Amino acid sequence: MPIREDAAIPADWRDLLALTKPRVMSLVVFTGLCGLLAAPVPVNAVLGFAAVLCIALGAGAAGALNQWYEADLDARMKRTASRPLPAGRMDKQTALHFGVGLAVFSVVLMDVAANHLAAAILAVSILFYVFVYTIWLKRRTAQNIVIGGAAGAFPPLIGWAAATGDVSTLPVLLFAIIFLWTPPHFWALSLFVRSDYANAGVPMLPVVAGVQSTRRHILLYTLPMIAAAVAPWAMGLAGWIYGAAAVGLNTAFLILALLVAANRTADPKHMRPEKQLFAFSILYLFGLFAALVADKWVLA
């Protein structure tokens, strides 16, 4: 059958993949995997793999639905203007169908492969990211990532629940670590891409409260994050390997947060401490969770 001349071109699969925000997904998958591996029960390799796959697909679905809703906003920001929707390489309906389909599939598969609790937490995390963070908070308040950060904190909880069928103190602490890590991480980024957020009308803290206030907030939120990060070791839920990693990583994080607080420039070109803190914060989370798994596997 001949194709109509005005037919829209079907979305390229690479653009569908880009909708899932693969780079963000890597951190989500890693923390979910660590939650699963840190659980005090043996996990069947196939079921463990399926659970991590579901976490990845759920994160991808949330990312796709986020890009579906924020296409207009992404078009106004340099950092996101080349995404498939703002760049005009895909229509919104395709993104919506893809996101919803992936979300439902990931939750159903999690229920089949793991258990009801893990599937329920996965569903809550997707709904929270889409409805609470993306639709409700992001365009309304400077506290968007403080509350919305909870969505990214669910993966270790899901991994743990998939392995054990319940939730105990350690996975809640892992949730708290990511929840409290998210504001300093995103605020460091938002300081040196402030004009992007301002142009797009997103009320990120540096846009609403100013650069210096954001720097103070970063330091302020670093302190409870450090407390949460050290807590598993202090409470005897993790051993010395995790303890040593937590002390080292948190000391480095605090030093960088202090350097950010001491910086006075408003020019992004001179925001070296902010860029260093942002880059290190990713390494920090990888290192902390890797240490938790190493601790469990080496000291077991």
Partner 1 sequence: MSPAPEDEVRRRQRERARLMAILLGIFVVLMFAITIAKMSINR
88 binds partner 1 (CB under 8 A): yes
**Of 9 and 300, which CB lies nearer to partner 1 in the complex structure?**
9
**Of 117 and 288, which CB lies nearer to partner 1 in the complex structure?**
117
Reported in sequence order, the residue ranges of 121-224 that DSSP labels E, i.e. its strands, are none
**HEC profile of 222-269:** HHHHHHHHHHHHHCCCCCHHHHHHHHHHHHHHHHHHHHHHHCCCCCHH
How many residues bind partner 1 (CB under 8 A)? The answer is 20
| Nearest in space to 290 (alpha carbons), one of 45, 50, 37, 51 | 37
**Of 116 and 216, which CB lies nearer to partner 1 in the complex structure?**
116
236 binds partner 1 (CB under 8 A): no
**Of 7 and 300, which CB lies nearer to partner 1 in the complex structure?**
7
Residue from 50, 124, 135, 258 touching partner 1 (CB under 8 A): that is 50
Three-class SS state of 122:
helix
Question: What residues numbered 99-128 form the site for partner 1, per CB under 8 A?
Answer: 112-113
13 binds partner 1 (CB under 8 A): yes
Q: Where are the alpha helices (DSSP H) in 114-143?
A: 116-127
Residue from 22, 24, 26, 47 touching partner 1 (CB under 8 A): that is 47
- Minimal distance in Å, beta carbon 113 to partner 1? 5
Q: How far is CA 216 from CA 23, 81, 181, 187, 220, in A?
A: 28, 30, 15, 10, 6
Residue from 5, 264, 267, 269 touching partner 1 (CB under 8 A): that is 5
| Nearest in space to 278 (alpha carbons), one of 166, 181, 167 | 181
Distance CA 141, CA 146 (A): 10
**Of 113 and 117, which CB lies nearer to partner 1 in the complex structure?**
113
Which residues would be at the binding site for partner 1 (CB under 8 A)?
Answer: 2-3, 5-13, 44, 46-47, 50, 53, 88, 91, 112-113
